Structure 1
Amino acid sequence: MIQNDEVLLRAVEPGDVDLLYDWENRMELWPVSNTLAPFSKAQLVRYVKNAALDVFQTRQLRLMIDAHKVHEVPVTVGMIDLFDFDPFHNRAGLGIMVNQEWRGRGVAASALKLFMSYAFSTLGLHQLYCHISESNTASIKLFESAGFTLVGVKQEWLKTSKGYEDELMFQCFRPSSR
């Protein structure tokens, strides 16, 4: 397990299926996850079984974010994903989701910082990147505060109910690599 004083990042467990079922099937989250249809519990059970495979084999890694609570057991509040892992170029994409009622409490910032340390130190990555819709100001602020810089704009990239929206690409390099 990967942890600091605020959060614990842990592997996906079979007991997380109901929570994943809820989160993955929230239509308001679909635009950021490129999802167009609901997931079944059977699909998520298969996903959890395969989540135990090595990141070098699957080219992706999802960890659950547990927030520590004083004198209580930690509560699962979100997830952080590494995707498009490229061990040759030592880079990967990164995404994070924190459940609505836990936003604004510093959980995402703590989890992101902890995960970045893991990705750079343990996985040996040279860089991480993320894609954020221009209207997602909270995520933009989160990633910029973690050291990500804006490197590109994909114009009218995302179709929304209000029309098309730009998608921003951010990048962060391992601190000692530049």
Structure 2
Amino acid sequence: MLKGKNISLRNLKESDIDFLQKIENNPTLWEFGSEQKIYTKQELLSYIKNSKTPLKIAKQYRFVVDYNNTPIGFVDLFNYKKRSASVGIIINEKHQNKGFAKESLKLLSYYCFNVFGLNQLSCSVGKDNVKSNKLFLSASYKFLKEENKLNFYIFEQQ
């Protein structure tokens, strides 16, 4: 578990199933992810069971963002390649605009660079997603390019 000032990042556990199902099966969030389908509880329980597979093997890893021992979001690593990975983040609406997403990204980058041995994190954000564009810039990601209505950002180990 990674502890910050206000939140912590931890592994998925079975008790997260209802929160995971609520986020994954919310069609209004599908535009921000790669999958657009309803997951069964059994599929998500299987996902949780396999979620501790190391990043280098699974090529992805999901952390739960906890606030006061309650899950409020997820931070994902995916597209792992050698010493880099892509980042995705979701914080439930009730807990947005409170600094939790920025703190999550800061904890994640520290962990990625010092434990996973990565030296680069990247993300793509819809050009119209003003909140996320501001978030990644505020978390020290640098604008790289704009392509096909997406803004691409990069964060490199200093």
TM-score bracket relative to the smaller structure: over 0.9
Uncovered stretches (5+) of structure 2, i.e. residues with no partner: none
Larger radius of gyration: 1
2:127 to 134, 150, 174: 134
The residue number in structure 2 matching 1:160 is none
User: What pairs up with 1:23-38 in 2 under 5 angstroms?
Assistant: 23-38=23-38
Offset from partner CA, 1:58-106 (integer Å, 9 cap, x none): 01110000013xxxxx22100100001112xx10000110000000111
* Corresponding letter in the other structure for 2:80: F
In 1, Cα distance between equivalents of 2:106 and 2:54: 22
More strand by share: 1
Moved over 2 A (4+): none
1:167 to 132, 150, 153: 150
The residue number in structure 1 matching 2:100 is 107
Offset from partner CA, 1:108-144 (integer Å, 9 cap, x none): 1111111111111111111100010011111111100
- TM-score under structure 1 normalisation? 0.86
The residue number in structure 1 matching 2:72 is 77
- TM-score under structure 2 normalisation? 0.96
Number of aligned residues:
158
* Corresponding letter in the other structure for 1:21: Q
In 1, Cα distance between equivalents of 2:5 and 2:156: 25
CA RMSD across the alignment: 0.9
Uncovered stretches (5+) of structure 1, i.e. residues with no partner: 69-73, 156-165
The residue number in structure 1 matching 2:136 is 143
In 1, Cα distance between equivalents of 2:98 and 2:146: 29
